[in-house]
Amino acid sequence: MEPGGASQRSGRSAETCWRGHIVRQLKHRDRSQNAMFQDLIRFYTQLLEKTSLTKGRLSRCPSTYGGASLSSLLQQNSELKKTTGELAYQVVELQQQIGSKECVLQEQRARLQEEESRLTDAFDERQALQGRVEQVKVENRRQKTEYDALLERQSRVESRLREEKVQEEHKLEDMMYLKKQAAAHMNICNKRRSRARQATLQKELQTAAKSKVTVDSSSSAPSSRSTSPKADPQDESSRRAPACLFRSVSATSQRNRASFFPSLHLFERKRRSYSVSLEEDQLFPVGVCLSARVPARALQVLEAHEEGINAVRFSFGSDLLATGGTDRVIKVWEVRAGSLTHRTTLDGSTEGITCVEFDPTGRRILASSYDRSALLWQLDASVPKVTLTGHSRKVTAARFTCIPHQVVTGSQDRTVRLWDLHRAACVQQVEAGSYCTDLVCSESSIISGHYDSKIRVWDQRAVSCVQELPAQGRVTSLDLSSDRRQLLSCCRDDCLQLMDLRRWSNERVCFRAEGFKCGSDSTKAVISPDCSYLAAGSADGAVYIWNISTGSLETRLPDKHRASISAVSWSLTGEYVISVDKSRRAVLWSDI
């Protein structure tokens, strides 16, 4: 049965009850008032009857009465008239009272009608509210059903999440175990190859020592080298090095520039380790830039990777270039006559590459990865030689320190770690307090940029923070000048800041330009090798170059990138600038 019908029936029954009550009140009032006037009416009727009888008697037999009787009758008649008048007056008063009572009754009836209308409106409103209550109850039941379903779904999802976490931990443990086994196997193989090469070299040295060499004092150096093909390569390099390393620079300038490059090894030395073979068995000259060229045009535009490119770096000899992208590989390119030629591809990372760097010899490449590790490759090997694992989140920066066979890494897990490549193990770990975005290394310090808009300086010997420098925004990259005296920072406030490391007074020069915008939290900016210019890529796909001495924008290189530029690198010879973007494009720039 419908709720509305029940409400109507209840309203009708209430209305019938009110009407019956009013009728009963009226009947009661009629009975009570009629009883009040009943005696008066009966007495009045009796008087009228007596009066009529007396008049009849007098008219029928007037002689039978005496004078006294007539006078008494007249007196009685007058008294009756007087009584009748009083009774009539009382009747009039009672009629007036009845009229006033009827007015009151009419007012009460009007008020009763008003109350009945208000009661009807109240009943209608009550029915509407009851309908709304029913709707709310239905909606509450529906929402309760959905809530119960969501709770059940949440419990299932949480259980699945716990299972996935357990599986992830198991897989991570399995992966770490497999990596350890692979690293141990690789170390054994490298040790065997090293011993074989050492034995071969010893045999060659013994053969060379047994051979007879005739030295003519009048002969030139080339002829003596031709007569002894097994001469010591270090002697040969000592004769050739000054000419190829420093061109026509004076000895004094050579000594000064050598002090500016304390971390650059002019020649590789042969070293052996216990578990990791890190070989340095060839001479590698380092070029010196006296004056960097401001690029003016694009020499080559190529699609370097299958996905976006995150990092790029020239080697110290400027003849090689490495790019790393989200496609999980590092590609090595040869730079010849203003063009890039693909040389090799380095695999081994399970996720995207965030940072790449050559060692000073140009024979090894260090990279950081989203897979929470840092990897080290030999240039001629496609698989990593060393894998450094231990960070709990992605590694954003990995750099060679000035100490041989030691690297430093920074990660999103808010730690900075120092690694020994001999043992492939972490030797120091510090809590940085914020997500580390980039690192650079000087002679005795490690400088890190962070997401909390601070630059922290660490003592490399104790790995402790010695100073915090505030930045104007989240730091996206750091770069040291070639003389290790100036530090460049790029921040998300679209500003490049250059500070002198010899003055820790927070005095810095800001470089801005109209249209320049830092495109991401990992945008990399660089200082030119002659410390005269700054270069950075913008979100609009253009390369901006500032003049340090004037503080103004030197040039803007547009129209070659179709996405935000993620990194730039300047060759140490000062001849080339390379820029890469998120749309897998690399552009080689020069003034040629």
What percentage of the chain reaches a pLDDT higher than 70?
80
Distance CA 485, CA 550 (A): 19
pLDDT of 126: 93
Domain chopping of the chain, boundaries: 1-54+77-131, 297-590
Residue 58 pLDDT > 80, yes or no? no
pLDDT tens, 351-409? 999 999 999 888 999 999 999 999 999 988 888 999 999 999 999 999 999 888 899 99
Q: Say if residue 255 is exposed, middle or buried (CB neighbours under 10 Å; 0-12, 13-18, 19+).
A: exposed
Residue 442 pLDDT > 50, yes or no? yes
pLDDT of 205: 84
Would you place residue 289 in the very low, low, confident or very high pLDDT band (cuts 50, 70, 90)? low
Q: Which pairs count as long-range contacts for 291-294, CB under 8 Å and 24+ apart, including other chains?
A: 291/530, 291/532, 291/574, 292/528, 292/529, 292/530, 292/532, 292/533, 292/570, 292/574, 293/574, 293/575, 293/590, 293/591, 294/533, 294/545, 294/554, 294/555, 294/591
Cβ–Cβ < 8 Å for 406, 433: no
Distance CA 251, CA 379 (A): 33
pLDDT of 440: 93
pLDDT of 270: 36
Distance CA 348, CA 367 (A): 11
Please name the amino acid found at residue 396: T
Residue 188 pLDDT > 60, yes or no? yes
Distances (CA, A) of 441 to 229, 397, 538, 588: 40, 12, 26, 27
Mean pLDDT of 251-258: 37
Task: Give ∠ CA 492-520-570 in degrees, rounded to 5.
Answer: 90
pLDDT of 321: 94
pLDDT of 217: 42
pLDDT tens, 100-132? 888 888 889 899 999 999 999 999 999 999 999
Cβ–Cβ < 8 Å for 281, 268: yes
CA-closest candidate to residue 311, choices 129, 159, 522? 522
pLDDT of 396: 94
3-state secondary structure of 208: helix
Q: Say if residue 263 is exposed, middle or buried (CB neighbours under 10 Å; 0-12, 13-18, 19+).
A: middle
What percentage of the chain reaches a pLDDT higher than 90?
38
Cβ–Cβ < 8 Å for 576, 335: yes
pLDDT of 237: 38
Read off the DSSP letter of residue 406: E
pLDDT of 238: 38
Beta bridge partners of 459: 445, 464
Please name the amino acid found at residue 562: R
Pair of tokens at residue 587 = 């552009």
pLDDT tens, 544-559? 999 999 989 999 998 8
3-state secondary structure of 136: helix
Mean pLDDT of 135-144: 93
Look at the pTM and tell me if it is higher than 0.75: no
Would you place residue 288 in the very low, low, confident or very high pLDDT band (cuts 50, 70, 90)? low
User: In this predicted model, which residue has the larger pLDDT, 358 or 88?
Assistant: 358
Would you place residue 214 in the very low, low, confident or very high pLDDT band (cuts 50, 70, 90)? low
Distances (CA, A) of 223 to 218, 229, 233: 10, 10, 16
What are the backbone angles phi and psi of residue 241, rounded to the nearest 5°?
Answer: -60, -50
pLDDT of 24: 84
pLDDT of 209: 80
**Segment among 50-59, 400-409, 443-452 with least mean pLDDT:** 50-59
Mean pLDDT of 325-347: 91
Mean pLDDT of 463-484: 87
Residue 235 pLDDT > 50, yes or no? no
pLDDT tens, 570-581? 999 888 999 999
pLDDT tens, 18-36? 888 888 888 887 777 777 7
pLDDT of 461: 76
pLDDT of 4: 54
Mean pLDDT of 511-528: 92
CATH topology of domain 297-590: Methylamine Dehydrogenase; Chain H (2.130.10)
What average pLDDT does the chain have?
A: 80
Residue 96 pLDDT > 80, yes or no? yes
